[in-house]
Amino acid sequence: MTHQGACHCGAVRLTLPSTPEVATRCNCSLCRRIGGPWVYFAFGTVKIEGHPESTVAYVQGDKTLRTIHCKHCGCVTHWEPITLEPGERHGVNLGNFDPALIASVRVRKFDGAVTWSFLEE
Ligand SMILES: [Zn+2]
């Protein structure tokens, strides 16, 4: 089952290829500011419309990924790897989707700030 979501103004639209079962809430210096929770899919499997024409990218720290937000409403929609290699994933901000979907997905807390591991099963 696919799921459609969008940033607040609708300029960036995302379609998930399947129903996510688990999402990640991360406390790293970036994620703790921009929220999430994040769900992950194989790169290229999430349909993203309005990107890059309506988006701005932010590249942080080790420059392995770019975090994308809508240039009109500011909502963070997803992140994507900068270097495409086999097995790469991208992350989607589940906050852009239906509240019922958000509520149905189990959220795991990830300590991206210190230990780089999940804080709970
Ligand atoms: Zn927008």
Ligand 1 centre to CA of 55 (Å) is: 8
pTM of the model: 0.92
pLDDT at 120: 77
In this structure, what token pair is assigned to residue 8? 């607040």
What tens digit of pLDDT does each residue of 17-70 get? Answer: 999 999 999 999 999 999 889 999 999 999 999 999 999 999 987 788 899 999
User: Distance (Å, rounded) from C-alpha 73 to C-alpha 65?
Assistant: 21
Using the mean position of ligand 1's atoms as its centre, give its distance from the Cα of residue 72 in Å: 5
CATH topology of domain 3-110: 2.170.150
Domain-by-domain residue ranges, the chain? 3-110
Instruction: Write out the two tokens for 47.
Output: 């349909």
Torsion of CA 97, 80, 58, 76, to 10 degrees: 0
11 CA → ligand 1 middle, Å:
5
Give pLDDT, residue 85. Answer: 84
pLDDT, tens digit (0-9, with 9 covering 90-100), for 59-94: 987 788 899 999 999 999 999 999 888 889 999 999
